[in-house]
């Protein structure tokens, strides 16, 4: 395994603009960031700071324009759409909303993701295993509207994890959940990440889940403002300022 | 049982909401019904033009060269028919006479023109059940059979009714079933060739009197296993040029072409059928678009996790195909029922054939494909990045 793959994400001098001509506005400035394998990284920052844009660039959902962006050993700058689709198949996505098909059971929703890897024969087995690990063994054949919010989000996590991606990107995974189920969901993500050795990048405003992170990145107005571990992050700020900064 | 390859997302999405599925199916059925009805009317008008021709017994038709469709009153010399009979493979030749005669309604005494069909009752020229049963009665002088599909204005048609044809007394001895067309809007009567002379050989000086020496149409029966095309070719080369030789199938086509080109039937009904088609496109588009719009986030998520646009198109097209199947079946059966009702009410020849049903099925299929292709653009243009945050 080469060194590039030892870091799941390597970003150098990444700039990103929205719009064109006079309306062109820069949202990301000179981002340098390395996410080593197996780390859980939380990205915080005020609204409009470019967190989601950065997340979608890493997730190959947008094409990067300037700089270098290596994800799982592959350079994303300059890839065309179908190559980006290829890259996305190796990444697990968790969204703020669960985005499950109401017409499909929990297991079928997870199986849809397995099908993208052409693994037809074991899809049901893999889906059931993953749901069981997330504590949904007895809800496998329930449809989403028979599940609670936390359970739905766990199904969505199962969908993201079932193909054992090396990189998981989560956008406010706890936003639609109450405190207790949010906590559960994050803890499960942490456990599975440790077992599978995958890298997780979470964008969140929820400071109650900061403790699962190995590292916290703060993005302000398109620039990386700080990059430190949890202890430093908390000790460097008084709690009220954390809140103000994070919920603004 | 083998595990299914794909999770049938299209099926589950459509059947998830039963009420919406029902509306969707009703919509497709309605479009199918519209197309079937308009096609049915169009075909009925064409079919009725050639129903007499199709029922005449003979594989080859001999006509005056000037007679380019069934109602042109041109005859040819009967000896041409006998010349044609001498060809190898021809087993029988039947002369067929036709003209228009004034029929007096015995109840109201009003006069209407009817098409008169005349031939030797011993020859199987027009083998319809009512005619075959009454051949002996038809041989008597001053007798006729009347088409029971004639318009009611011709008056009572019970056997034994006595009235006038071409201002001479006539007695009805039975009925047969044929139907009306543009050339005989009121109905048909069948008489023997001998009676034909009685009614039409001695007309007033200004009218063309008829004899049996000139024939309106010659019908040739050929032996089984004969090469029809070869006989026709030989006849065309060897018979004098005052007659035209057609196989019956060719002449049926020629007749249909005439009606297609000289009337607006084709245009009007094709337009209506096309409108039915587009009503269907819009209905199905609405249904599919609603599905796509409501599950926008889910489809975008699929796209985010690596589902290609092509695969998404596949899902929406599968939904279309399911709608085609579920919508077509009831549409087809309701149309069959309506064909029946229409035929009974109007006397139009509403025929459902496999070919016509399959054509509409294909049209329905294309209809749903178009709708699906338009509806799926909503997802295809989706930027999966929008699922994040926003």
- Are B298 and A99 inside 8 Å of each other by CB? yes
Q: Are strands B76-77 and B214-215 parallel, antiparallel or unpaired?
A: antiparallel
Distance CA B283, CA A91 (A): 39
Q: Please give the pLDDT value at position A242.
A: 55
**Paired tokens of A108:** 């079928």
Collapsed DSSP state (helix, strand, coil) of residue B355: helix
Q: Please give the pLDDT value at position A5.
A: 53
Q: Nearest-CA distance from B304 to chain A in Å?
A: 7
Distance CA A160, CA A176 (A): 17
DSSP A21: G
Name chain A contacts of B13, Cβ cutoff 8 Å: 101, 103
Backbone angles phi, psi at A244, to 5 degrees: -60, -45
Q: Which helix H or strand E contains B50, and what residues bound it? A: helix B18-55
Minimum CA–CA partner of A176 in chain B:
B389
Q: What pTM did the predictor assign?
A: 0.72
DSSP track, A29-54: EEEEEEEETT-EEEEE--TTSSHHHH
- Nearest by CB to B13, from A101, A123, A159: name it: A101
- Nearest by CB to A108, from B3, B7, B295: name it: B7
Distance CA B245, CA B242 (A): 10
The interface pTM score, or ipTM, of the predicted complex is 0.82
Q: Which helix H or strand E contains B191, and what residues bound it? A: strand B188-192
Determine if residue B349 is left, alpha or beta; phi over 0 gives left, psi from -120 to 50 gives alpha, anything else beta: beta
- Are A159 and B306 inside 8 Å of each other by CB? no
- Nearest by CB to A61, from B13, B295, B304: name it: B304
- Nearest by CB to B306, from A88, A111, A123: name it: A88
Q: Please give the pLDDT value at position B153.
A: 85
Backbone angles phi, psi at B155, to 5 degrees: 95, -170
Residues of B engaging A, defined by a Cβ cutoff of 8 Å: 3, 5-7, 9, 12-13, 15-16, 295, 297-298, 300-302, 304-308, 383-385, 387-390
Q: Please give the pLDDT value at position B325.
A: 87
* Residues in chain A where the model's pLDDT stays below 50: 1-4, 244-248
Would you give per-residue pLDDT tens digits along chain B (390 residues)? 445 567 788 888 888 888 888 988 998 899 999 999 998 888 888 888 898 999 999 999 999 999 888 888 899 999 999 999 999 999 999 999 999 999 999 999 999 999 999 999 999 999 999 999 999 999 999 999 999 888 888 889 999 999 999 999 999 999 999 888 877 778 899 999 999 999 998 877 777 788 999 999 999 999 988 899 999 999 999 999 999 999 999 999 999 998 888 888 788 888 998 998 998 889 888 888 888 888 888 888 888 888 888 888 888 888 888 888 889 999 999 999 999 888 877 667 888 889 989 999 999 889 888 888 888 887 777 777 777 654
Q: Please give the pLDDT value at position B121.
A: 94
Q: Which helix H or strand E contains B294, and what residues bound it? A: helix B265-294
């Amino acid at each position: 395994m080469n060194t590039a793959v030892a870091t799941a994400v390597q970003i150098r001098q990444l700039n990103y603009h929205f719009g064109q001509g006079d309306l062109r506005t820069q949202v990301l400035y000179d981002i340098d960031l390395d996410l080593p394998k197996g780390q859980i990284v939380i990205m915080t920052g005020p609204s409009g700071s470019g967190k989601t844009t950065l997340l979608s660039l890493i997730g190959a959902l947008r094409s990067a324009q300037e700089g270098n962006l290596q994800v799982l050993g592959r350079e994303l700058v300059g890839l065309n759409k179908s190559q980006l689709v290829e890259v996305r198949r190796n990444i697990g996505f968790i969204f703020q909303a669960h985005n499950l098909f109401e017409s499909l059971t929990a297991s079928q929703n997870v199986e849809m993701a397995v099908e993208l890897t052409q693994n037809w024969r074991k899809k049901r087995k893999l889906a059931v295993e993953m749901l069981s690990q997330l504590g949904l063994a007895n809800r496998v054949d329930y449809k989403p509207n028979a599940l609670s919010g936390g359970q739905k989000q766990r199904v969505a996590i199962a969908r993201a994890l079932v193909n054992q991606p090396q990189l998981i990107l989560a956008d406010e995974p706890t936003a639609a959940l109450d405190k207790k189920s949010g906590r559960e969901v994050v803890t499960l993500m942490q456990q599975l990440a440790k077992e599978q050795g995958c890298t997780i990048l979470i964008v969140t405003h929820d400071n109650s889940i900061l403790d699962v992170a190995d590292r916290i990145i703060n993005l302000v107005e398109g620039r990386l403002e700080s990059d430190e571990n949890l202890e430093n992050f908390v000790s460097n700020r008084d709690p009220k300022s954390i809140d103000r900064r994070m919920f603004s | 049982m083998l595990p299914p390859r794909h999770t049938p997302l299209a099926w589950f999405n459509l059947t998830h909401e039963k009420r919406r599925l029902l509306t969707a199916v009703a919509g497709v059925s309605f479009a199918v019904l519209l197309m079937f009805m308009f096609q049915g009317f169009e075909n009925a008008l064409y079919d009725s033009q050639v129903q007499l021709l199709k029922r005449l017994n003979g594989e080859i038709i001999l006509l005056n060269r000037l007679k380019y469709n069934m109602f042109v009153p041109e005859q040819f010399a009967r000896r041409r028919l006998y010349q044609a009979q001498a060809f190898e493979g021809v087993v029988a030749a039947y002369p067929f006479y036709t003209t228009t005669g004034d029929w007096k309604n015995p109840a109201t005494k009003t006069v209407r023109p009817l098409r008169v069909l005349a031939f030797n009752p011993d020859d199987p020229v027009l083998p319809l059940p009512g005619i075959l049963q009454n051949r002996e009665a038809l041989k008597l002088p001053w007798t006729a059979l009347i088409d029971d599909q004639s318009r009611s204005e011709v008056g009572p048609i019970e056997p034994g009714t006595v009235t006038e044809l071409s201002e001479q007394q006539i007695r009805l001895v039975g009925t047969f079933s044929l139907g009306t067309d543009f050339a005989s809007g009121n109905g048909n009567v069948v008489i023997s060739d001998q009676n034909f002379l009685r009614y039409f050989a001695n007309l007033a000086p200004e009218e063309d009197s008829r004899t049996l020496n000139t024939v309106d149409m010659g019908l040739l029966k050929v032996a089984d296993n004969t090469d029809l095309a070869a006989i026709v070719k030989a006849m065309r080369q060897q018979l004098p040029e005052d007659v035209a030789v057609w196989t019956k199938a060719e002449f049926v086509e020629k007749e249909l072409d005439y009606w297609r080109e000289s009337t607006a039937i084709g245009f009007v009904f094709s337009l209506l059928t096309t409108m039915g088609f587009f009503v269907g496109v819009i209905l199905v588009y609405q249904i599919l678009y609603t599905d796509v719009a409501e599950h926008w986030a889910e489809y975008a998520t699929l796209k985010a996790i690596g589902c290609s646009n092509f695969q998404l198109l596949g899902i929406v097209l599968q939904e279309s195909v399911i709608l085609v199947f579920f919508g077509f079946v009831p549409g087809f059966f309701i149309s069959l029922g309506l064909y029946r009702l229409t035929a009974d009410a109007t006397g139009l020849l509403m025929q459902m054939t496999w070919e016509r049903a399959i054509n509409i099925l294909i049209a329905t299929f294309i209809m749903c494909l178009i709708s699906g292709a338009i509806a799926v653009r909503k997802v295809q243009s989706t930027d999966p990045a929008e699922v994040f945050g926003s």
